[in-house]
Amino acid sequence: MDKTMGGYLQGTVSVIVNTILFVLKIWVSIITGSIALAADAWHTMSDSLSSIMVIISTKLSSRKADKEHPFGHGRWELIASLFIAMILGIIAYDFVRNSIFQWQHKQGVTYGIIAIIVTIFSIVVKEFLAQYAFYIAKKTANSSVRADGWHHRSDALSSAVVLVGILFARQFWWIDSLLGVIVGLMLFYAIFQILKEVISKILGEEPTPELVHSISGAISQKYGSDLMIHHLHLHDYIVHKEITMHIRLHKDLSFEQAHHIATDLEKIIDKEFNMDATIHIEPLDE
């Protein structure tokens, strides 16, 4: 499964399922008069919005490179992840604010049996969507799909808070407020993880030791360790990656021989790792 198809598939499934859940939760909130379920329903609807954003970003990032954007449009995925993190931040803040408000005013929550059924169903479905998004993100390395997975999990957590409130609200009026703050803090941690990954990619990352070892191994199979590869830099444009490196060659080699070796290495890296390589040549005794 390629990245574009994975983004479309995950986003489409998410929009359809979240819309169904939204209708169910709104219906239950109306017949029970539950404000918490109504808020949880709109939280679910916000997942549909973020999934639509994933679909749009997947479409934009799949566009081919052009004159204005010679490295492609893959970083639209990172921009989408930033927007999803902003949505999660608003939801987390609202959780904490409402929880503090409920605790200050000693507001309890009362639900019926139908609320329990719908809430449990929502938790199971939303966690399934989260796992599905994480699976697609792992297969396609799509950061916006991974961020959407965290959004699904945030909705599962919010439904879990409602469920706990349903089960223990009569014994402990304050438990809904306490769990709301806990979930809010968990969401802020998820936001931190999303932003950490996105910002790291935007700023530029050092090649992992595993990647360096793999590239060195592929080159050594043909040239041994004589090239002394060093000074590797990775330029990640999401749908397109470039790597620069230095190699050391014997100073007695002709210009044509050195050029042939560098070109051969670029072909190896393109074939084995699907990366464009730019190689700087240094004399061995420098």
Query: 103-112, 154-163, 261-270 — which one is most confidently predicted on average?
Result: 261-270
Q: Is the pLDDT of residue 286 over 80?
A: no
28 and 110: one domain?
Answer: yes
Q: Is the pLDDT of residue 48 over 80?
A: no
Domain end residue (candidates: 173, 203, 233) = 203
pLDDT at position 285 is 67
Q: Is the pLDDT of residue 188 over 70?
A: yes
The closest of 210, 221, 238 to 81, measured between CA atoms, is 238
Confidence of residue 124 (pLDDT cuts 50, 70, 90): very high
Q: Is the pLDDT of residue 35 over 70?
A: no
127 and 221: one domain?
Answer: no
Using CA atoms, how far residue 210 sits from 21, 61, 154, 207, 243, in Å, is 42, 27, 32, 8, 14
56 and 96: one domain?
Answer: yes
Domains: count for the chain: 2
71 and 115: one domain?
Answer: yes
Distance CA 88, CA 130 (A): 14
Q: Give 107 or 215, the one with higher predicted confidence.
A: 215
Q: What is the mean pLDDT of residues 176-201?
A: 79
78 and 103: one domain?
Answer: yes
Give the domain CATH number at 268: 3.30.70.1350
182 and 237: one domain?
Answer: no
Distance CA 130, CA 282 (A): 49
pLDDT digits (tens, 9 = 90+) for 236-251: 776 678 888 898 888 8
Q: Give 50 or 29, the one with higher predicted confidence.
A: 29
pLDDT digits (tens, 9 = 90+) for 154-175: 878 878 877 877 787 777 778 7
Q: Is the pLDDT of residue 225 over 70?
A: no
Structural domain that includes position 55: 3-203
135 and 151: one domain?
Answer: yes
Distance CA 286, CA 284 (A): 6
118 and 225: one domain?
Answer: no
Q: Is the pLDDT of residue 1 over 70?
A: no
Q: Is the pLDDT of residue 111 over 80?
A: no
pLDDT digits (tens, 9 = 90+) for 199-218: 887 777 778 888 888 888 88
Residue 244 phi/psi, 5-degree rounding, is -115, 150
55 and 189: one domain?
Answer: yes
Query: 95-99, 221-225, 274-278 — which one is most confidently predicted on average?
Result: 274-278
Using CA atoms, how far residue 16 sits from 13, 23, 144, 160, in Å, is 5, 11, 18, 21
pLDDT at position 33 is 64
Q: Is the pLDDT of residue 106 over 90?
A: no
73 and 215: one domain?
Answer: no
71 and 175: one domain?
Answer: yes
Domain end residue (candidates: 184, 203, 222) = 203
27 and 158: one domain?
Answer: yes
Torsion angle of the four alpha carbons 178, 182, 187, 190, in this order, in degrees rounded to the nearest 10 = 180
Q: What is the mean pLDDT of residues 124-153?
A: 84
Q: Count of alpha carbons within 13 Å of 151, Cβ hemisphere only? A: 36
Is the pTM higher than 0.85? no
Distance CA 38, CA 254 (A): 75
Min mean pLDDT across 76-80, 105-109, 167-171 is at 105-109
Domain end residue (candidates: 142, 168, 203) = 203
Q: Is 111 exposed, middle or buried (0-12, 13-18, 19+ CB in 10 A)?
A: buried
What strands lie across the sheet with 230-236, from one edge to the other? 230-236, 241-249, 276-283
